[in-house]
Structure 1
Amino acid sequence: MQRKVNIPHKKPLNTAGTVLLAFTIGFIFIPMLCLCKNEEVGERNEIASLLQDLTARVEKLEKDKKAENMKGQEDVTCPPAAKCTVGFSVGLNTLKAPPREARIAIFKDVFNNVGNGYDNNTGTFTAPVKGLYFFSLTFHNVGDAVINIYLYKNDRRVLNVDMPEAYPGSNTKAVTIQVEKGDKMYVKAFLRQNVTGVKAIFTGFLISCM
């Protein structure tokens, strides 16, 4: 006797339920995927913005550092050509100073003063730029004076001009010297007696800035 085997039959899928499930997936999971993708794009944009901001800051720091270095080199680099043109020539007709006392000679007659470094009120030339300078002193004695002339850089004597005892007579001395910005150059005269017959010219100019 044969037994019947009952094979269960699969229930057909509910079409309405399938459609509802598909819509549920579409409305819930797809927006979530899009949201994740949008968040990823937003993060990338934020990172790119941060990188751009950091790059700008680094460039600014490098620019400021370069400007600071240039500022620190102002005194050791050559300024524009107009500022590298410096020179003066001044004279005096009568040298006045107490006998046997060294005094700064005031050259009142200004022939030229390019760069305005020479002050005819103090008799002092103040270097406007650092560089190699040329200075010369010429004294002409038409009397019987015995005097000694000295060129000073700040407080240091750099040149002597001895006047001849015989008269009339003249003497010229010159020197090339490195001068820092702000250094002062001036002439001192030591008189052994009252002097009325001495004429002089003091000249200086910048050879090259440094």
Structure 2
Amino acid sequence: MLMVVQLLLLLCVGSSVSEDLMTPTVNIIAELGKLKKMEEKIQTLQETLNTVLSENAALKSLVQDSQNKLESFLKENKAQKIAFSAGLLASGEGYTGPFKDDWKTLVYKKVFSNIGDAYDSNTGIFTAPVKGAYYFRFYAHSRSRINLGAGLFKNNVPQCSVFSFQPTRHSNASNGVVLTLEPGDQVHIKVWSNAQVYDDIDSLTSFSGFLIFPL
């Protein structure tokens, strides 16, 4: 009888030990659950990061595009502000001409304004920076019996002129014209051959122009 009881006790103890070995403890299961939740959070954070990076790239592209458009607008707006005015002599007084061989370009040195930098005081030539309708006006003066004569040229083609035949005293003349210019077209004033113009500190001989509107 005692032996039977001992066998039963051994069986019970063996069964209990086997169950303990086969079944995870409660703490391990909890830790595994925590790891699973952490993995889910990491995955969610990764997805959020990818979304933010994608949106940031799109935003960066949008900002860059806006900056490019703004720079283009400012550049175009600046190019459309064009006006200049200049007198022939920077200082002193005197005659220019007459020249026997050919008409000679007048280089207006006394620059009153040159918005847009389209007029070159080294050459006397205005170069259109944008396509548009431009207005030009020039004045000429003489104080001798030599002919007064000057003309406005577009790309070396005469457009309009002023002339006074052997003036006895002071002689003044002016003319103006509206021209349609393409970018790079050039406008300048030439004194006629066998003619002259006079200028002094009062800028009696001058050249002006401005952009009326772009086309």
**TM-score, with structure 1 as normaliser:** 0.67
**Aligned pair 1:174/2:176, yes or no?**
yes
Displacement of 1:124: 2.7
Q: Taking structure 1 as reference, are residues 196 and 47 closer, same or farther at Cα in structure 2, changes over 3 Å only?
A: closer
Q: 1:145 and 1:35 mapped to 2: Cα distance? A: 106
Change beyond 3 A, Cα 1:148–1:181: same
* Aligned 8 A contact 1:161 1:171 in 2: no
Note the residue ranges of structure 2 that are not aligned, 5 or more in a row: 1-11
Q: Tell me the equivalent position of 1:160.
A: 160
Q: Which residue of 2 aligns with 1:91?
A: 88
What secondary structure sits across from 1:99 in the alignment?
A: coil
The residue identity in structure 2 corresponding to 1:79 is: K
> Using the alignment, how far apart are the partners of 2:72 and 2:167 within structure 1?
53
Matches within 5 A, 1:113-124: 113-115=113-115, 118-124=119-125
2:206 paired residue number = 201
Summarize the Cα distance change of 1:62–1:138 in structure 2 as closer, same or farther, 3 Å threshold: same
Per-residue CA distance 1:95-122 (angstroms, 9 max, x = gap): 22531412211234x1623446544432
1:60 aligns with 2:60: yes
| Count of residue correspondences | 192
Query: Following TM superposition, by how much is the alpha carbon of 1:180 offset from its aligned partner in structure 2, in angstroms?
Result: 6.3
**Change in CA separation of 1:32 and 1:185 when aligned onto 2, cut-off 3 Å:** same
Tell me, yes or no, if the aligned pair for 1:140 and 1:200 is still in contact at 8 Å: yes
Paired position in structure 1 for 2:8:
none
Residue 37 to residue 205, structure 1, CA distance change in 2 (3 Å): same
> Is 1:106 matched up with 2:111?
no
Farther off after superposition, 60-69 or 177-186: 177-186
Task: Write the mapping of 1:74-85 to structure 2, written as runs, cut at 5 A.
Answer: 74-75=74-75, 77-79=76-78, 84=81
- TM-score, structure 2 length as denominator? 0.66
CA distance in 2, matches of 1:39, 1:111: 75
Q: 1:66 to 1:197 in 2, by over 3 A?
A: closer
Shift of 1:40: 1.0
d(CA) in 1 for partners of 2:74, 2:151:
32
Find the counterpart in structure 2 of residue 50 from structure 1.
50
**In structure 2, what is the Cα distance between the partners aligned to 1:152 and 1:25?**
102
Which SS does the other structure have where 2:99 is aligned? Answer: coil
Quote the offset at 1:207 in angstroms. 4.9
2:189 equivalent among 187, 190, 203: 187
Quick check: 1:87–1:114 contact (8 Å CA) kept in 2? yes
Aligned mates of 2:70, 2:156 — CA distance in 1: 31
- Distance in 2 (CA, whole Å) between partners of 1:111 and 1:28 is 91
RMSD, matched Cα? 3.9
**SS in structure 2 opposite 1:79?**
helix
More helix per residue: 2
Whichever residue aligns with residue 144 of structure 2, its letter is G
Query: What is the aligned partner in structure 2 of residue 137 from structure 1?
Result: 138
Q: Which runs of 5+ in 1 are unaligned?
A: 1-12
Partner of residue 150, structure 2: 149
Alignment match, 1:10: none
Task: Deviation per CA, 1:44-73: give whole Å up to 9, x if none.
Answer: 001101110111111111222232334444
